[in-house]
Structures are given as structure tokens and as C-alpha cells.
Amino acid sequence: MNQSPSKKPSYSIVLVNYKTHQVTSICLNLLHKAFKGSDVQVWVVDNNSNDASTDYLRSLDWIHFIERTPEDGEPGFMGHGLALDLVLDRISTDYLFLLHTDTFVHNPVIFETMMKQCLENENIAAVGCVDQLYRGRLRIAWRFITRFFKHYSRRIKLSLGLKSKQPKPFYEVYLKSFCALWNVKIMKEHALTFAMNNRTPGYEAQDQLMALGYKISYISARNIFKYLDHVEAATVSAQDGYHENHRRIKKYHAFLEKYSKLQ
């Protein structure tokens, strides 16, 4: 699926690294295999990891590497968004793929599949998935039903003057940046960035683009996870932020073992 070196690539790829040496190396090895010999640029921003992952990234001659020093007290999500904006300012391609360092693309056809949606409709501003992992049909249905009833029960309580938490949306609308494709040409035309209004990166841009009449193309978790795996919360897991028996720790180590064997 490598693009012809003579053809100008229509997209770039960006990752933000923070102390995830093992998953970052796996993620990049997979990308290197997919794009070796092409002109697709892979950008990596390090948010002052100051560890083995930084040394590893400095050693790679095929990526575009930026070292960033966050401001004191800067929230992690804002640091991620500001890191993305550094790349947004530097690329010349019309499209930008956002990936997490814990996203392992085992079938790179996903890149062309997502690009095709944008190229077939110039009104699409972004393509991606609203779920961080594929839970299976039953769990997805149960999750939707329970959130639906919780949402409306809280609304009813509040309308009756009873004490209740504010209702949260029972369905997700925002693309998750573990694998999302953005039309950055449109973003730049409207002076939009990823870090805006102290919100999760991309959320404010998505709202403003939709208000302007642009479309968001959603890929189901069932479909997108045919092409990739997402460890989820790898940064916390890598820094022992969970109890050793936590399901995410177990999943983290299972993925490391699986993909380490394939390197």
C-alpha cells in the first residue's frame, strides 16, 4: 500500500509521546513497515519525557521529531493538543492522521480507507471512531441502554426539583484521537487548531466545523478494529498507574507480548 515516491502524499501522520518507550517503538515499527519507500511524513512530538523513549526517538532518522517543553501545571490533555498544533503549523499536506503511541496498525489499508471517504466528499472535515475499543455488540447495546436511562432519569429528577447530577449525553459524538483523520486544509481556512477553549483536543474544532456545515464521517468500532489495536491508557499503565491486577494493566502486557513477537 506504499505510495509511489513520485506522487505527492495527501496526508501526514502525527503521534505525541510521553514516557511510553515500548508502545511507541512498536507503533513506529509498524508505521515504518507500512510507509517505507513512500513520501508520507511521520511526525512525533515528545512532551518532555526525558527518558528512554526520548533517546529512542532521537535515534530515528526517518521521522520528523520535535521536542517540546510543557508549561508548568499544564494539563495532560492540553499538552497533547498543543503538541498536535506544533505539527499542524509545520505540515504542507491537506490531511493529517492523528494516532496515539498505543495504536498498533496491523493492516495499513485503514489509512487509504479513511482517506477515500474524504476524497469522495470535500465537505467531510474529519473521519474517525467515537469508541476507544470494540466492546462487542452486547456490551455496546447494554452501555447505550444504561446511559440512556441514566440520562433521562437525571433530567426527570431535575425537572421535579429533586437533587441529581447533571445528565451526561448517552451517546458519544466526538472523534477519538487514537486514530482520526482531519482535513487540516479546512481547519486552517477557518483558523482552527486542536487545542482550543481548554477542551479535549479536537472537540472544539469538531463543534465549530459542524456549525459551519461540514460533516464528520464516523467509522464503527467493529470496522476500525479490524485494522488496528488500541491499548488504551498505555501512558498510565507504563508508569504503573494501575494496580497490577487491573484489567488495563493485563491488557497492556498482553498487547506488548503479542506485538513484541511480531517485531
Domain that holds residue 99: 11-131+172-260
Beta strand pairing status for 42-46 and 11-17? Answer: parallel
| Side chain identity, residue 99 | L
Q: Which residues pair with 180 in a beta bridge?
A: 98, 128
Residue 248's CATH number? 3.90.550.10
**Residue 140 belongs to some domain of the structure:** no
Q: What does the pLDDT profile of the chain (263 residues) look like in tens digits?
A: 544 444 556 899 999 999 999 999 999 999 999 999 899 999 999 999 999 999 999 999 999 999 999 988 899 999 999 999 999 999 999 999 999 999 999 999 999 999 999 999 999 999 999 997 766 677 666 665 776 667 667 778 778 888 878 766 655 789 999 999 999 999 999 999 999 999 999 999 999 999 999 999 999 999 999 999 998 766 655 555 555 666 667 777 777 777 766 66
**Residue 215 belongs to some domain of the structure:** yes
Query: In sequence order, what DSSP letters do the residues of 3-48 get, joined into one string?
Result: PPTTSPPSEEEEEEESS-HHHHHHHHHHHHHHHTTS---EEEEE-S
**Model confidence, pTM:** 0.83
> How far, in Å, CA of 57 to CA of 25, rounded?
9
Query: How many other CB atoms are there within 10 angstroms of residue 99's CB atom?
Result: 24
Predicted pLDDT of residue 167: 66
Q: State the Cα torsion 100-106-107-108 to the nearest 10°.
A: 40
- Number of structural domains found in the chain: 1
Q: Which residue has the cell 482552527?
A: 192
Nearest Cα to Cα of residue 71 among 56, 60, 81, 63: 81
Predicted pLDDT of residue 241: 54
**Residue 163 belongs to some domain of the structure:** no
Predicted pLDDT of residue 143: 61
Predicted pLDDT of residue 144: 59
**Residue 238 belongs to some domain of the structure:** yes
